[in-house]
Chains A and B, each alone.
Chain A
């Protein structure tokens, strides 16, 4: 058993070495499927805007089914041909410490990427790659979106070895003092820190709205679904219009109908959200090598995201109100937002965030201790911000809204107008009191801690030596009360604490600036 594994390993290292012989390689033909599917996706995305056009001419098209078949088959053929062409023009070459990729049918591109510029190596395995056990390697750089490189099809074993190779080389180039052999040895040892069971994923689906995963995938088929639904209603003899007509039924009956439909929709949404969570996080594992975290998950397409520990800028512990009831936490580690590369990706696919879904508070604290051992978020006593924060929202939001409500309803009935205006005032005031209660900050010698939220609560923790810029903000309304807003800019984004005592803001700024004078650690 051991022997075969060992020999497989050596074969793999041999293959990686073969890959690195500096010749131009072609992908495995299975990549045709990948190219075809990705162009199909791109097409489906644009097709989304064509739906109205098709719908308008639907009757005409329906009379000639042959045309549909012909169009569909030629479109499919087109995708296949695009796939083949893309495959044909794709070449990659791996040198000792750089990778080059030539691709493109009409618009040619030549990417030349030195390993040390690679920030992240992601492996993903779409469903159709699983039969032959292939994977797609995505190489993220800190630079722009243009520089994103992909090796579309490699055997998974090979891809994993290759990933290790790239990361090791990048490490070696960055830290010359550590011997390469030892580095390579420890880098390949993975320890699993956390797994998520099916139960956890169901909880995650319940507490977090993951329905967008579903909606996103279904986007091209919206009109088809609504057609099918209306046909279904007709076939079971359910008259939607009568069900919701105000004229023919009592108001309570109408209200009941609306309520029942709303609850039905809620149920469907929750179910879909659970399904979405399972799609996304199936067989979730978070593992740790010497210097990075690796997240693997996915039911259909397996995703793998890795993040270097030293790149983590901030840790976020997010709890929605339902999470609070169930004692769960969404923990995420955020690294620098690498500009345009992430701009048009949805939350979960962003490589600057590594999410551990719905862990217990205890697990979350343990994971955070692992990532930043000297941090003590769990033991912090948070200081509140000034109560004038409530006053501000009452004066600048609640009062104007109430006045607007009153003015709009005054002509009909002054009494109801007054009642509604007071209600609006009370609700907004209550919201601001809750928000004020959630705000809190704390700091020790190394870290800054922040708490905020409304119904839920979020905790943030970041090391002060990773700060990029600090701002002291104040306006004439709060200056007389010696209050100020602290804004801290990190590579992962800015964090703000409003209505703190001005003296404390100054002392925090001095502390951060003072630390950066002596602490020359890099933020990366």
Chain B
């Protein structure tokens, strides 16, 4: 019950508001940091494996590998840098909004997208937390409709408590219990 009261304050109630005028809320700032760290760690790991395989003294690698390994390492480093830069600029663009009858998620640096999910059409909700997300206290809210698995509505990078609140708001919503 307390969840509902706490959440009611965030719902926009000032008359009908159009989708384009919604006040969007940002994800947790930790989300970007986490994405960048994960990209860096994975990139560095792959690069170091490639380099270590070439320089280790225990067994000899094929000639071709020794000729080209630095190109592979550079390519991986470039991809890592790319994904770090992308996270840096694109993650702050990810925002969500909750209205009385629908949830929205906006994203995109070059390709913009706003997904609007009516709460009445929600079939079930999941909160997903991988080990990395758990360590940062984050969670991903997944909302399933009859539109199929390809069209799962997802808000990543939510503070865990916030995700629980959101889930509770949706579960308590009369559209889900009566008309869903």
Report A's interface with B, CB cutoff 8 A. 336-337, 339, 467-476, 479, 489-491, 493-494, 506, 509-510, 512-514, 516-517, 520, 522-523
Contacts and interface: CB of A to CB of B under 8 A. Distances in A.
B19 A523 contact: no
Contacts of B175: 520
B121 A473 contact: no
Contacts of B111: 473-476
Interface in B117-163: 117-118, 120-121, 145-148, 150-151, 153
B108 to A, nearest CB: 8
A516 B115 contact: no
Contacts of B113: 471-474
A516 B147 contact: no
B151 A494 contact: yes
A473 B151 contact: no
B118 A520 contact: no
B121 A517 contact: no
B110 A469 contact: no
Contacts of A512: 118
A469 B18 contact: no
A520 B120 contact: yes
B60 to A, nearest CB: 40
A516 B146 contact: no
A513 B147 contact: no
B19 A469 contact: no
Closest 10 CB pairs of A and B: A489-B147, A468-B147, A491-B146, A472-B114, A468-B145, A516-B118, A520-B179, A474-B112, A489-B151, A475-B111
B2 interface: no
17 contacts: A336-B146, A339-B148, A468-B151, A469-B151, A471-B115, A473-B111, A474-B113, A475-B110, A475-B111, A491-B147, A494-B150, A506-B20, A512-B118, A513-B116, A516-B101, A516-B120, A520-B178
Contacts of A468: 118, 121, 145-147, 151
B56 interface: no
A472 B113 CA distance: 5
A493 B148 contact: yes
A513 B101 contact: yes
A523 B122 CA distance: 11
B116 A469 contact: yes
A308 to B, nearest CB: 15
A53 B113 CA distance: 53
Nearest to A479: B112
B14 interface: no
Contacts of B153: 469
Interface in B62-101: 100-101
Nearest to B151: A489
A506 B22 CA distance: 12
Contact of A510 (B19, B108, B121, B146): B19
A523 B121 contact: yes
Contacts of B150: 494
Contact of B147 (A469, A472, A475, A479): A469
Contacts of A506: 18-20
Nearest to B115: A471
B9 interface: no
Contacts of A494: 147, 150-151
A336 B121 CA distance: 13
B117 A469 contact: yes
A509 B110 contact: no
Contacts of B151: 468-469, 489, 494
A494 B150 CA distance: 10
A513 B121 CA distance: 11
Contacts of B179: 520, 522
Nearest to A488: B147
A170 to B, nearest CB: 19
B102 interface: yes
B54 to A, nearest CB: 35
B148 A337 contact: yes
Contacts of B101: 513, 516-517
Given A468-B145, A494-B151, A520-B120, 4 more contacts: A471-B115, A472-B19, A476-B110, A509-B19
Contacts of B121: 467-469, 516, 523
Nearest to B174: A520
Contacts of A339: 148
Residue of A336, A468, A489, A516 ringed by the most chain B CB atoms within 10 A = A468
Nearest to B150: A494
B112 A469 contact: no
A202 to B, nearest CB: 37
B79 to A, nearest CB: 22
Nearest to A471: B115
A510 B99 CA distance: 12
Nearest to B109: A476
A441 B113 CA distance: 21
Nearest to B100: A517
A282 to B, nearest CB: 34
Contact of B112 (A475, A509, A522, A523): A475
A205 to B, nearest CB: 33
B110 A523 contact: no
Nearest to B148: A337
A469 B120 contact: no
B112 A516 contact: no
A474 B108 CA distance: 9
